[in-house]
């Protein structure tokens, strides 16, 4: 069964899946390829509502689970961007042709392995556009490209775009006002 938002992929479940998926899914919960709620594809507030409704109608559970639980789409995204921007911050100023090639491969592999299937799918589509091909010939270029990639997701989610002139302050040097020193 193809993964999909709730309501689009609830047909054709086998017995095991029918049993595993709570009958009442909260709005916004996204299903994974296995037909079950996909934690890394869903904001935890929605996903937590599922487990609450499946266990008790008057739950005293907090609105968010403890920090040492598996990541939801938000925690996964923040951690991933932290890793990706930090990689650009330490990328060589003059990378070898071999490293440039490996970096492009890394980005494409990352886009296939990203643990939120609908995020991964959109990111792959974005990467396919000629103007979005990874630019990796220097740290400055790669950092700028990563900022643009992140801004594309920000725009999709209706968030404010980040000023890419300041990506290095955010991810390498710290802000010019010295608050990170």
Ligand X SMILES: Cc1cc2nc3c(=O)[nH]c(=O)nc-3n(C[C@H](O)[C@H](O)[C@H](O)COP(=O)(O)OP(=O)(O)OC[C@H]3O[C@@H](n4cnc5c(N)ncnc54)[C@H](O)[C@@H]3O)c2cc1C
Q: Within positions 97 to 156, which residues make up the interface with ligand X, using CB under 6 A?
A: 114, 118-119, 122-123, 147, 150-151, 153-154
- Please state the closest distance from residue 76 (CB atom) to ligand X, in A: 7
For position 162 contacting ligand X by CB under 6 A, the verdict is yes
Taking residues 53 to 82 in sequence order and writing x for each that binds ligand X by CB under 6 A, - otherwise, the string is --------------------xx--xx-xx-
Whichever of 16 and 180 has its CB closer to ligand X, that residue is: 180
User: DSSP states of the chain as a string?
Assistant: ---EETTTS-SS--HHHHHHS-SSPPTT-EE-TTSSB-GGGS-HHHHHHHHHHHH-TT----SS--TTSPP-HHHHHHHHHHHHHHHHHHS-SS--HHHHHHHHHHHHHHHHH-SSHHHHHHHHHHHHSGGGS---SSHHHHHHHHHHHHHHHHHHTTPPPP-GGGHHIIIII--TTSTT-
Select the residue whose beta carbon is closest to ligand X and give its number. Answer: 77
Q: Within positions 1 to 60, which residues make up the interface with ligand X, using CB under 6 A?
A: none
Whichever of 21 and 117 has its CB closer to ligand X, that residue is: 117
Residues forming the site for ligand X (CB under 6 A): 73-74, 77-78, 80-81, 85, 114, 118-119, 122-123, 147, 150-151, 153-154, 157, 162, 167, 170
């Amino acid at each position: 069964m193809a993964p999909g938002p709730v309501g689009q992929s609830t047909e054709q479940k086998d017995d095991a899946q029918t049993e595993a998926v709570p009958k009442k899914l909260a709005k916004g919960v996204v299903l994974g390829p296995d037909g079950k709620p996909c934690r890394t594809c869903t904001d935890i507030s929605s996903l937590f509502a599922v487990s609450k409704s499946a266990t008790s109608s008057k739950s005293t559970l907090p609105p968010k689970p403890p920090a040492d639980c598996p990541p939801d789409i938000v925690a996964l995204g923040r951690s991933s961007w932290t890793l990706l921007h930090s990689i650009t911050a330490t990328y060589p100023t003059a990378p070898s042709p071999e490293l440039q090639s490996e970096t492009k491969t890394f980005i494409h592999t990352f886009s296939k392995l990203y643990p939120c299937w609908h995020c991964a799918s959109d990111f792959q589509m974005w990467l396919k556009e000629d103007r979005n091909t990874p630019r990796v010939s220097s740290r400055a270029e790669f950092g700028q490209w990563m900022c643009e990639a992140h801004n594309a997701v920000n725009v999709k989610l209706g968030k404010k775009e980040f000023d890419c002139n300041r990506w290095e302050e955010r991810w390498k040097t710290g802000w010019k006002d010295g608050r990170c020193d």
